[in-house]
Amino acid sequence: MVGMVRHWGGGREPVEFEIADLVIAGWTGRDAAGLQHHIDELKAIGVKPPSGVPLFYRVDRGLLTTDTSIDVVGTGTSGEVETVIFSVGGLWVGLGSDHTDRAAEAYSVALSKQLCRKVVAPELWRFDEVAPHWDRLILRAHAVAGGKRRLYQEGSTAVIRDPRELMARFTGNGSGLPEGTVMFCGTQPAIGGIAAADRFEMELEDPVLGRSMRCAYDIRTLPLVS
């Protein structure tokens, strides 16, 4: 059971719901050059190019969390800021990080998606309220490492495929997400390249409606022993 707060029409409503399926949409760049840049930066750390784009990875629904701290094994993991679509009593927009084990990603992207928890903000916006100006939303992330905070990702959601297209491709029949499904919609290139951090801070800004959704979590690195 996941507890969150839904915001709509100027009001707010605490809710709890069950997650039936957790989906990570990958390789979702709308611009071919930008997508290739992301493929190239992953290739630089040993990740094989995808067999097609976009791809949809089904992962353990228990990985979804609103916790403000996660444990990871080894120093080869990093976060990715993304919009997240929740199909729970209608469509809702959230903010999350597809935290990924980069060392495992070089072996198997699908496996790497299973190895880290996926932190989401405890807030949701009604999708209908942002859909008309979707491409004007802004995603932003900061990474904190060694006590230094730096801008890690920033850009408009216009560089990522529209979630309506992703939902239609995932279901294969043009319908919306099945009830209880949560979908991460993809990320943007990292500024200065992919890197590990001690803390990951993210934001979804809606400049049209004048609001922002924020979330942050600490990363505790457990020793990698053999």
Mean pLDDT in residue range 110-114:
92
| CA dist 208 → 134, 140, 188 (Å) | 10, 16, 21
Phi-psi region of 220 (alpha: psi -120 to 50; beta: other; left: phi over 0): beta
Q: Which domains does the chain have, with CATH numbers?
A: 18-222 (3.90.850.10)
Instruction: Indicate the pTM of the whole model.
Output: 0.93
> What pLDDT, in 10s, does the model give residues 140-180?
999 999 999 999 999 999 999 999 999 999 998 777 899 99
